[in-house]
Amino acid sequence: MSDRRIPKEVLKEMAELRQRLADAEETLRAITSGEVDALVVKTRLGEQIFTLQGADTVYRIAIENVNEGVITLSTEGVILYSNFYFAQMIRTDLNRLIGASVFDFVTQEEHDILAALLQQDNGHDEVVLRSGDGAQVPAYMGTKKMQLDDVIYVLAVVTDLTLKKREEELIRTGGLIQSILEQSPNAVMVCNAAKTIIYASKVAHQLFGHNVLGQPIDSILLSIRKSDKPLRFADILSDDVKDGTTICTEKNGKPLHLLLRYGKLGEGGDSTGIIISLTDVTSLKQTEQLKDDFIGMVSHELRTPLTVVVGAIHTAMLKGITPEERQERLRDAAFGARELENLLENLLELSRFQADRLVINPSKIDIAAAVREVIKVLRATSQIHHLVFDVRQKLPPVSADEIRMRRILYNLVENAIKYSPRGGQVRIFARLKGDSIVIGVSDQGIGISSEDQARLFQPFQRLESGQAQTKGLGLGLSVCQHLVEAHRGRIWVQSEPGRGSTFFFSLPMTEKGTVDH
């Protein structure tokens, strides 16, 4: 083939190919002779040779673009190289970084940690970096010691933990809020704009008796009534039901009063739903009810004897009334006044006890004389009862509060008369027993069942059996118990329905023959 017949362009191409072949042969020779490190990789385009020189560029590009801070340091901490990410992480110009000490970018407290990392062959620890604008950047630093051309470098990869820390904080706060809500005694529900419950505390599930999560709020509110109408979510949204309203529902057949509190979720007009909290205020309502009942009951009980007193005095003052009749009316007035006094005294004793101000004033008293006095007063109140004092031995003087002893005896004897409507004997007795003196009041009245005996001494307890025929606040026995116990004694009852009751109380004697305090 002569050159004259070959076109110029082809000749040029051939020359180029020859040159490339010569280059390839030279490269191969260099690789085979170990002069150049390279990698021969089979690709779609045939075998390709990757020299380390080429790989270096790839590494550099990769390191510049990786989302981690990468720096190389001298073992003393001088920054020899930093990628752009690290410079950004600590908000410092890249040019200012190179040649600076890494210690300048770590808080003082963390210098020891950093120094240790620079000494280790392979180290890793959390450090707090100090950025150019003075902010703290929590980071994780992994270090590796390397040797290149007899020089020791430290390669450090630095991960910014700011986001992770924030997430951790959020999780912690979220968890804290969650546990606060779970431990709250309130039923808390969060409802989204689509009226679905997206959060409900444990108490909320318990209140409605099932898992309410994911349910339409209206189906849950259905069981709640406000002024006898079912409560609707729309009522809450439209502010028809005020925050702080008490609403009603039922649980296990019992009425439940709930205090409704609510607030919109989200800021201002961007409300994304509503947070509802329901507090069980049933016991508060019951207390309120009890207070109202109590006021009604006391007023009623006080009015009855007062009517007697006022009526009797009016009659006694009428002209033309005989002296005997006047005497009779004044006796009625005195009786009514004593009843009033007794009621008020019992109320006062109870309130003293409840305020922890019940103080007794003991003196040596003759208990038999106190019994006789109470019998004398109460004998006049009933024609059909026969009051007797059964004492078979001489009683020693006892150390007790005289007024309170008479009050205990008065309450017990008055009850014995009240609760034996068909009359009969009321026997008061006193015995010395061991280290105590025991006083008893027995009647032949309606008696008390054993179940009822257990609750007799609680304030305001009146039994069905006795209520119909008699007046009373249900205070006498509870006052007796507090007074006896203030004397370090004990009170109890033995009774049989239909046959009568005996109330006993004992007072301890510390010295022979004397009840002492």
Residue whose Cβ sits closest to ligand ADP: 472
- Those residues with Cβ within 8 angstroms of residue 386's Cβ, 6 or more apart along the chain or in another chain: 423, 424, 425, 426
Q: How far is the CB of 414 from ligand ADP (least distance, A)?
A: 8
Which span sits near ligand ADP by CB under 6 A: 147-155, 215-223, 375-383, 460-468?
460-468
Which span sits near ligand ADP by CB under 6 A: 77-85, 315-323, 458-466, 507-515?
458-466
Q: Which is nearer to ligand ADP, 362 or 474 (CB)?
A: 474
Interaction between residue 489 and ligand ADP (CB under 6 A): no
CA-based angle 131:135:141, to the nearest 5?
A: 55
Q: What is the DSSP string of 292-314?
A: HHHHHHHHHHHHHHHHHHHHHHH
CA distance 484 to 404: 9
- Both tokens of 440, joined, read 């008893």
For 147-185, what is the HEC assignment?
Answer: EECCEEEEEEEEEECHHHHHHHHHHHHHHHHHHHHHHCC
Interaction between residue 184 and ligand ADP (CB under 6 A): no
Please answer whether residues 487 and 360 qualify as being in contact, where contact means their C-beta atoms are separated by less than 8 angstroms.
yes
Which span sits near ligand ADP by CB under 6 A: 178-186, 250-258, 317-325, 457-465?
457-465
Q: How far is the CB of 473 from ligand ADP (least distance, A)?
A: 5
Q: Which is nearer to ligand ADP, 336 or 476 (CB)?
A: 476
Q: Which is nearer to ligand ADP, 123 or 472 (CB)?
A: 472
Interaction between residue 333 and ligand ADP (CB under 6 A): no
Interaction between residue 374 and ligand ADP (CB under 6 A): no
Q: Which is nearer to ligand ADP, 130 or 418 (CB)?
A: 418
Q: Which is nearer to ligand ADP, 181 or 473 (CB)?
A: 473
Length of the chain counted residue by residue: 517
Please answer whether residues 54 and 141 qualify as being in contact, where contact means their C-beta atoms are separated by less than 8 angstroms.
no
Applying CB under 6 A, among 501, 504, 505, 515 the residue interacting with ligand ADP is 501
Number of Cβ atoms within 10 Å of the Cβ of 231: 25
Region 396-455 residues binding ligand ADP, contact defined as CB under 6 A:
411, 415-416, 419, 443, 445-446, 448
CA distance 382 to 378: 7
Q: Which is nearer to ligand ADP, 83 or 415 (CB)?
A: 415
Q: Which is nearer to ligand ADP, 125 or 452 (CB)?
A: 452
Q: How far is the CB of 500 from ligand ADP (least distance, A)?
A: 7
- Those residues with Cβ within 8 angstroms of residue 501's Cβ, 6 or more apart along the chain or in another chain: 416, 419, 442, 443, 445, 447, 448, 493, 494, 495
- Both tokens of 476, joined, read 């006498």
CA distance 160 to 90: 9
Interaction between residue 472 and ligand ADP (CB under 6 A): yes
Q: Which is nearer to ligand ADP, 281 or 463 (CB)?
A: 463
Q: Which is nearer to ligand ADP, 88 or 450 (CB)?
A: 450
Q: How far is the CB of 319 from ligand ADP (least distance, A)?
A: 38
Applying CB under 6 A, among 461, 490, 492, 494 the residue interacting with ligand ADP is 461
- Both tokens of 243, joined, read 């925050």
- Among residues 446, 390, 379, the alpha carbon closest in space to that of 413 is found at 379
Q: How far is the CB of 503 from ligand ADP (least distance, A)?
A: 6
Rg (CA), the chain: 49
For 411-427, what is the HEC assignment?
Answer: HHHHHHHHCCCCCEEEE
Q: Which is nearer to ligand ADP, 398 or 413 (CB)?
A: 413
CA-based angle 160:161:167, to the nearest 5?
A: 140
Applying CB under 6 A, among 137, 473, 484, 515 the residue interacting with ligand ADP is 473
Q: How far is the CB of 295 from ligand ADP (least distance, A)?
A: 17
Per-residue burial over 140-173, b if 16 or more Cβ lie within 10 Å, else e, is: ebebebeeeeeeebbbbbbbbbeeeeeeeeeeee
Size of the site for ligand ADP (CB under 6 A): 21
Applying CB under 6 A, among 463, 488, 490, 508 the residue interacting with ligand ADP is 463
Interaction between residue 305 and ligand ADP (CB under 6 A): no
Distances (CA, A) of 177 to 137, 172, 190, 501: 27, 9, 13, 59
Which span sits near ligand ADP by CB under 6 A: 63-71, 195-203, 239-247, 470-478?
470-478
Interaction between residue 477 and ligand ADP (CB under 6 A): yes
Which span sits near ligand ADP by CB under 6 A: 183-191, 196-204, 211-219, 474-482?
474-482
- Both tokens of 112, joined, read 């020891």
CA distance 436 to 25: 126
Applying CB under 6 A, among 89, 308, 456, 483 the residue interacting with ligand ADP is 456
Which residues contact ligand ADP by CB under 6 A?
Answer: 411, 415-416, 419, 443, 445-446, 448, 456, 461-463, 466, 472-478, 501
